[in-house]
Structure 1
Amino acid sequence: MKTAVTVLQEMMIKMNKVPEYECIAQAGPQHQAMFEYRCKANGVTVTAIARSKKEAKQEAARIMLLQLDKCGLPVPPPFCHGGAPSQTLGPSTSTSSDQASSIGPLSSRSYVALLNELCEEYHLPAVEYELTADTGPPHARHFTISARMGMYERHATSTTKKAARQLAAEQLYTYLKGNLSRVTKDFVEDDALVRAHEKAMDRYVEAREDLAWRPNLGQKIADYHLGLLTHIDSEKHARALEALEACRELEAERALAAVVGALGLSVECYELGGDRGPLSVLCLTPTAPAVTLAARDPSTAAATALRYLRRSLAADPEPPL
């Protein structure tokens, strides 16, 4: 079977024309990059997004063939709409890969976010997404995602899970908006997207708080005991030193809780069993390098952690024992 690029090339040559391809965008990290290709032919311009340049080019050619078929040009199967069943709005519908491709690239509007906001505002059940199919060779995968809310379910297929999820969410959102228009007429999509963006930014800020404690790959092992000093600011440093002085008379566990709180950390305790009796393990989180201490009982482990903190936070820390 000929590829979409080959079929389009042969069609254009018969018309004394040549299709033009151009990679116009690349997004995402290197190991999950997404490429967007633009194709121009016979006065029509389409774009497609995929996980590789080759796949994006093939997808753009396939969308172009579908568009040329709409214009009345003789496009050979299976790159034409002939005999394709029309989509119906029942409790469960499905979108084939060709139908999903004919929609073109996804709009900048996140239908997953819109659907979540719609369900939250009108107290509808949460939407459940599920990967129902994964087909095709490694260089041309096709994923089918189902979006289910109560008895209503929509399926969509695309070359990436994210795109399929958005297509399924778009179908379900469009159906709900159309059939619940009487009660959702005051639902403003732009406001809903702003709310979704604000929630996403809040989660992003919370996630960024842990970045300060990511491991320093350039740190020498001999300097591991200085890890706290390289990850906390001067204000936390000063508060921790004050807490150490104020809690000298307190029991080890209470004093440790006060100092760790001043540093913005938390304490995790574990009890491990063994042939020689239980062992108390104490972890300070998040830290980089990880700070884990052990002793025969929680009180001794807390005292050991306090000694470590005193030496680490000292202006001129002593070398570790």
Structure 2
Amino acid sequence: MMKTPITVLQELMVKFSQSPNYECVAQSGPQHLAVFEYRCAARGHVVSAKARSKKEAKQEAARLMLARLAAAGLDVPAPYAAPCSPCPPVVGDGDAVAAGCGAKSYKALLKELCQEYNLPGPEYTLEGDTGPAHARCFTARGAVGAHARIASATTKKAAQQLAAQQLYQYLRENLARLTEDFVEEDALARAHERAMERYVEARANAPHRPDLAQRVADYHLEEEQVNLGADALEAASPHAEPETELQVVAGALGLRDEWHSLPAEGGPLTLVRLVPTSPPLVFCARTREGAAAEAVSYLRLTMKFRGQK
């Protein structure tokens, strides 16, 4: 079984009666695109690496340190003695948050370049993966029209980033006169702005999460609604059926009742839901009359409590 960079570095430092020092120095990006930066210090050398998880960032920092120590003349076992090639950025779903040893998201840059100069959009495919579970090597193919590049890395996204980097640099070099007005900083800013717009939109469309800090009586009704509901109940006939009474007070509160039937042991249950309410108000009984009575009782108690505050 192949040893991880952290294990190899630890064993190497034991020979010097020392231990590498790791520190998580930064976290950036929104929660669903978080990027962690780890710093590793050993034998007077300091390196840092970023990744989408603390574990990956720490492993990458250890790998970079092994390469640095090998370059300094220490006997580092293969394959970690190989020179450290530039690490591709590791990005989130929007390809706008760059991480890794580099500071650019080449997938974002390539996409912006293609959009600005009417090139076909980049396409990425996984060509293969090899190695044990703890040390996988992924090969990805990136293509823009007839141009394609293949790259390998320890993660799918990193392999795609490398392929995107090669394609981007090829296009910039061969279309230099045509793309001389392409500003990388502006392109990355546009990509980040679009990623944040998608994030905000996704949050807006996310399922409702009730505010658990609220009291039950504060969930649904404002003071003006309480007064309207109380007036409607007072005006209702004292002999009105519960369902009619519910419709009267719900209408005064700007709510509507939705009825459903739920199969249950001993016979179906009748459910009435008042909408729109947040969190949802649902009442249940064996009959429509019983469910309506439960709803009216709740509304009476709630409005009475709110009116006494």
For 2:38, the aligned partner's letter is Y
More moved, 112-121 vs 36-45: 36-45
Name the counterpart of 1:78. Answer: 79
Contact 1:26 1:33 (C-alpha < 8 Å) held by counterparts: yes
Name the counterpart of 1:182. Answer: 177
Contact 1:21 1:57 (C-alpha < 8 Å) held by counterparts: yes
Matched, 1:168 2:169: no
Contact 1:32 1:51 (C-alpha < 8 Å) held by counterparts: yes
For 1:200, the aligned partner's letter is A
**Superposition pairs of residues 91-110 of structure 1, within 5 angstroms:** 99=85, 101=87, 105-110=100-105
Query: What's the offset of the Cα at 1:199?
Result: 2.9
CA distance in 2, matches of 1:135, 1:287: 53
Name the counterpart of 1:191. Answer: 186
CA distance in 1, matches of 2:182, 2:150: 24
Q: Which runs of 4+ in 1 moved over 6 A?
A: 28-33, 286-290
CA distance in 1, matches of 2:204, 2:32: 24
Matched, 1:126 2:121: yes
CA distance in 2, matches of 1:199, 1:53: 26
CA distance in 2, matches of 1:5, 1:176: 38
For 1:199, the aligned partner's letter is R
RMSD: 4.4
Contact 1:20 1:39 (C-alpha < 8 Å) held by counterparts: yes
Q: Secondary structure of the equivalent of 2:121? A: coil
* Structure with the greater alpha carbon radius of gyration: 2
For 1:165-209, what per-residue CA distance to the aligned partner results, in whole angstroms no more than 9, with x for missing partners? Answer: 333322221221122212211211122223323333443444444
Name the counterpart of 2:23. Answer: 22
Contact 1:55 1:139 (C-alpha < 8 Å) held by counterparts: no
**Superposition pairs of residues 17-56 of structure 1, within 5 angstroms:** 17-26=18-27, 35-50=36-51, 53-56=54-57
Contact 2:130 2:137 (C-alpha < 8 Å) held by counterparts: yes
Matched, 1:214 2:208: yes
Name the counterpart of 1:154. Answer: 149
Q: Secondary structure of the equivalent of 1:186? A: coil
CA distance in 2, matches of 1:26, 1:197: 17
Q: Secondary structure of the equivalent of 1:200? A: helix
Q: Secondary structure of the equivalent of 1:78? A: coil
Contact 1:55 1:140 (C-alpha < 8 Å) held by counterparts: no
The runs of 5 or more residues in structure 2 that have no matched partner are: 90-98, 226-275, 281-302, 304-309
Q: 1:128 to 1:201 in 2, by over 3 A?
A: same
Name the counterpart of 1:65. Answer: 66
For 1:65-89, what per-residue CA distance to the aligned partner results, in whole angstroms no more than 9, with x for missing partners? Answer: 112223343323222238xxxxxxx
Contact 2:88 2:102 (C-alpha < 8 Å) held by counterparts: no
CA distance in 1, matches of 2:277, 2:29: 28
Q: 1:71 to 1:195 in 2, by over 3 A?
A: same
How high is the TM-score relative to the length of structure 1?
A: 0.53
Q: Secondary structure of the equivalent of 1:79? A: coil
For 1:262-285, what per-residue CA distance to the aligned partner results, in whole angstroms no more than 9, with x for missing partners? Answer: xxxxxxxxxxxxxxxxxxxxxxxx
CA distance in 2, matches of 1:158, 1:117: 23
For 1:131, the aligned partner's letter is L
Q: 1:65 to 1:146 in 2, by over 3 A?
A: same
Q: Secondary structure of the equivalent of 1:22? A: strand
The runs of 5 or more residues in structure 1 that have no matched partner are: 83-97, 235-285, 291-315, 317-321
Query: What's the offset of the Cα at 1:119?
Result: 0.7
Aligned residues: 220
